[in-house]
Amino acid sequence: MTAAVQLKPSAFNVKLRHEGRHLAFNSIVAHSLEMSEAQARVFNDALDEVAQSGSCKDEALLRCLYALGFVVPADHDELAVQRAVFQATKASTETLRFTIAPTMACNLHCSYCFQQDFAPCKTMRLDIERGIIEFARRKLEGCKTLVVQWFGGEPLLRYKRIVAMTEAFQRVCAERGVNYYAEILTNGVLLTPEIIANLPKLAVKAIQIPLDGDVDTYARRKGVSRERAQAYHDVLVNHMHALVDATGSVTIRINVDRENPAAGYDVVRMFKRKGCVDPRIDFRLGFLNNRDGIVDCIPHDCLSDVEFSDTEAEFRRFLVEQGYRVYGEPGPRKFPCSAPLRNNFTIDPTGRIGKCVPVIGTDESVFSCIYPDDIARTMRETSISNAPYSDFDPYGSVCRNCELLPVCLGSCPRSHAPEHSVICPLKQGLAKTLAFYRLHG
């Protein structure tokens, strides 16, 4: 930067107040400042001066603002650049992503599950499995990485088929010279020491498990006996060290509402008592709500956006006190979810191909199918330019003027459908979140 360069304030500056202090945050570079009243006046006056004249008399301050992203060259179209980056990410074929549900069957009866009304016992046939492997082999032409997320239903009900498909994927990737890794979302009930020990061989690099409170709460919400709930808690706690070492990343999702606000604390204390404090464990609260229309009704007394934000803020502080790493610091994202990505596909047990993970197993977002005897047709249908969510562009949406857009990218693409409404979860409690990560990030 030279004195001759004309500057302007970034379009992605956010100004907030928290407990008498001023906060400033730039959502492209994720830099934040915490200031006193006097410091905030200097900061705001400098930005006003830059907006009016393209520069600032205090050159040292100007250099700092430039380095932190709060001011940018006057001819720099930040919105156009960020939009181009998103479009390039969306169109990229470097990574092929599959979310595969080998079965829609489940061994639990979660009271809030959006799949509870699905037709039972949909399980993938062997010819569909073979078709998926061939589909992957053809789609991997020119790719660098294949990522498979095992979903369900409960995917571990088909553990042997996961093993077989993984071995096939790994052979194809070796032939193509591309990388392979997997993730799994599981209720964890079927995890055994043998399965955990085999996860590295299956290249599972991340696992997410819902655990909604103490034994009594879990039994009630999962529809199982207390004895079964206790046995599962014991297995999970006693083998968490091995699970973390096997995968490198374990997310424990605790779904909360007004009926179980202390659930997160109960779960964390359970692991803490066993001495399981590892920075690779991500404890996070899950927000039960039906605003995205995935189900018509969740039979729980759901928290409001503000209530959940406050609950989450308190839980973060508790995690720090207990010695755990706290994930979720606001920062720029490459994509809001995998749905808009050209090379992303969900595949349900019948072979239907879609784009949106939460609605897997339904007709929504389905636009093709695995045709075991005609994979060429599958290739043609999945190469169309108007696949579901292919036109999603947060920088052209109702969120386009939001200073936080690089951080959330419009949130869930489904919420931008005409029958839904966009509610920004990021704005709720943002000041508290930024202040927290300034201390503990």
The pLDDT of residue 119 is 56
Residue whose tokens read 């001011």: 71
Count of CB atoms situated within 10 Å of the CB of 15: 16
Count of CB atoms situated within 10 Å of the CB of 32: 20
- The residue type found at 122 is K
The rounded distance, in Å, linking the Cα atoms of 103 and 348 is 7
The rounded distance, in Å, linking the Cα atoms of 252 and 230 is 17
Can you read off the two tokens belonging to residue 292?
């995205």
The rounded distance, in Å, linking the Cα atoms of 37 and 46 is 14
The DSSP element (H or E) to which 60 belongs, if any, is helix 59-67
pLDDT tens per residue across all 441 residues of the chain: 555 789 999 999 999 999 999 999 999 999 999 999 999 999 999 999 999 999 999 999 999 999 999 999 999 999 999 999 999 999 999 999 999 999 998 887 777 676 655 555 578 999 999 999 999 999 999 999 999 999 999 999 999 999 999 999 999 999 999 999 999 999 999 999 999 999 999 999 999 999 988 999 888 888 889 999 999 999 999 999 999 999 999 999 998 988 888 899 999 999 999 999 999 999 999 887 655 444 444 556 788 888 888 999 999 999 999 999 999 999 999 999 999 999 999 999 999 999 999 999 999 999 999 999 999 999 999 999 899 999 999 999 999 999 999 999 998 898 888 777 777 778 888 999 999 999 887
Residue 67 sits at φ, ψ, to 5 deg, of: -65, -30
What 3-state DSSP class applies to 267?
helix
The pLDDT of residue 294 is 44
Burial class (CB in 10 A: 0-12, 13-18, 19+), 403: middle
Residue whose tokens read 């430039």: 66
Number of alpha carbons in the 13 Å side-chain half-sphere of residue 318? 18
Closest by alpha carbon to 353, among 99, 158, 65, 151? 99
Burial class (CB in 10 A: 0-12, 13-18, 19+), 141: exposed
**pTM to 2 decimal places:** 0.93
E strands in 74-195: 95-100, 145-150, 179-185
What 3-state DSSP class applies to 353?
strand
Residue 208 sits at φ, ψ, to 5 deg, of: -120, 130
The pLDDT of residue 115 is 62
The pLDDT of residue 112 is 67
The pLDDT of residue 295 is 44
The pLDDT of residue 303 is 80
The rounded distance, in Å, linking the Cα atoms of 348 and 359 is 10
